[in-house]
Amino acid sequence: MAQEKVVTWLEGKLFFVDTYAARANWVPCKVVLTYGGIWLMYGNEKRGVPLASIASLGREVSKKLIGNVSDYLSIAYVVGGKETTVAITGQSAQLKKLKKYIMFLQLNKKPVYILHPAKVGGAIQDKVSWEQGILNVVWTPGGAADKLVVQRKSGNVEIAMGEIEMIRTENQKINGKPQTIANIKHSSADNVYNTFILAGIQNSLIEYINDHLKEQGVISGHEDGVAGGGGGGDAALEGLEDEILVALYSGVSALEVPTFMDGTDVDQVEEIYDKLISYGLVELVRLRKDVKLTAKGRNIVNKKMQM
């Protein structure tokens, strides 16, 4: 493999997935990621996996094979027309780092197709067309301002990672050819947008965003954001709670909700807000003060009216 500068590495164990095996045969290994691909070193073997040959990352391996190992990274790659899956286990943080860097190398500075904005605030923009662009994966210290930037002729599109609400796949035709695209819903200061992206390695784009959403607690660890539905991770919401969330999303002010939700009193709505806060689905902006006049206050009003 060309470009041998090391990006990151880890020591752990690996096994090549054989679905006919009774159980995994883990062997100690060293895994080295370079700009060109991954070196798998185990026993006396050294196997190179070019980045371009990686078909998917993080695919689940059968529980029967993997046993009790929960922290692992699977890499499926195709060399000479043959697909091979290797599972690597090691320290959780190192595995996450390895996966993140692989995805970075697969996605950064690569050509994509983009449709932006596909929707604004839920309204489909049917006059916008697909364009070609270059995807830049921007990392910042601490990750607070990480973003995806797509450079295109009509102007750059910036998607702040911290503002992504959801990602799902959809079937769309690009240049008359059916493709499975990533539908990324994200907000900016002024509105909520849906941006459609087709990347060369689409799985990695989806996995990269999903991993971010899981890290941030936007979706739960076992939830696949792409599957859609099931909002709020593990939060079990009832009808009224769901409706209040939708109303808030649509722009009904939190203070107007009791009036808007016919037959719901303020105390009931505030209880629901407490529940939604505890689930991390809404955050407290301010506490409203409810007051009534004292005798002294009423006295002043009476005097004012006599003037």
Partner 1 sequence: MLVDDSKFMRALLKKVMASAHNIVGEAENGVEAVDMYEQLSPDIVLMDIVMPHMDGILATSNIVGKHPDAKIIMCTSVGQDEKVKAAIKAGARGYITKPFQGPSVLKEVESLLGQ
Query: Residue 263 interacts with partner 1 (CB under 8 A)?
Result: no
Q: Which residue of 99, 100, 116, 119 would you call a contact of partner 1, by CB under 8 A?
A: 119
In the bound complex, what is the minimum distance in angstroms from residue 256's beta carbon to partner 1? 8
Query: Residue 126 interacts with partner 1 (CB under 8 A)?
Result: yes
Query: Residue 251 interacts with partner 1 (CB under 8 A)?
Result: yes
Choices 23-31, 117-125, 147-155, 273-281; region in contact with partner 1 by CB under 8 A:
117-125
Q: For partner 1, which is the closer residue by CB, 98 or 245?
A: 245
In the bound complex, what is the minimum distance in angstroms from residue 130's beta carbon to partner 1? 15
Q: Do the Cβ atoms of 219 and 203 come closer than 8 Å?
A: no
Which of positions 170-209 make contact with partner 1 (CB under 8 A)? 170-172, 191-192, 194
Q: Mention every residue, 6+ apart, whose C-beta is less than 8 A from residue 104.
A: 137, 139, 208
Q: Which residue of 124, 255, 277, 301 would you call a contact of partner 1, by CB under 8 A?
A: 124
In the bound complex, what is the minimum distance in angstroms from residue 156's beta carbon to partner 1? 22
In the bound complex, what is the minimum distance in angstroms from residue 96's beta carbon to partner 1? 29
Residues 137-166: x where in contact with partner 1 by CB under 8 A, - otherwise, as a string? ------------------------------
In the bound complex, what is the minimum distance in angstroms from residue 260's beta carbon to partner 1? 6
Query: Residue 6 interacts with partner 1 (CB under 8 A)?
Result: no
Residues 20-39: x where in contact with partner 1 by CB under 8 A, - otherwise, as a string? --------------------
Q: Do the Cβ atoms of 112 and 134 come closer than 8 Å?
A: yes
Q: Mention every residue, 6+ apart, whose C-beta is less than 8 A from residue 185.
A: 164, 165, 166, 167, 192, 193, 194
Query: Residue 129 interacts with partner 1 (CB under 8 A)?
Result: no
Q: Which residue of 35, 101, 139, 249 would you call a contact of partner 1, by CB under 8 A?
A: 249
Query: Residue 262 interacts with partner 1 (CB under 8 A)?
Result: yes
Q: Which residue of 228, 230, 280, 297 would you call a contact of partner 1, by CB under 8 A?
A: 228
Query: Residue 255 interacts with partner 1 (CB under 8 A)?
Result: no
Cα 46 to Cα 98: distance, rounded to the nearest angstrom: 18
Q: Which residue of 246, 266, 277, 300 would you call a contact of partner 1, by CB under 8 A?
A: 246
Give contact residues for partner 1 (rule: CB under 8 A): 119-124, 126, 168, 170-172, 191-192, 194, 228, 243, 246-247, 249-252, 260, 262
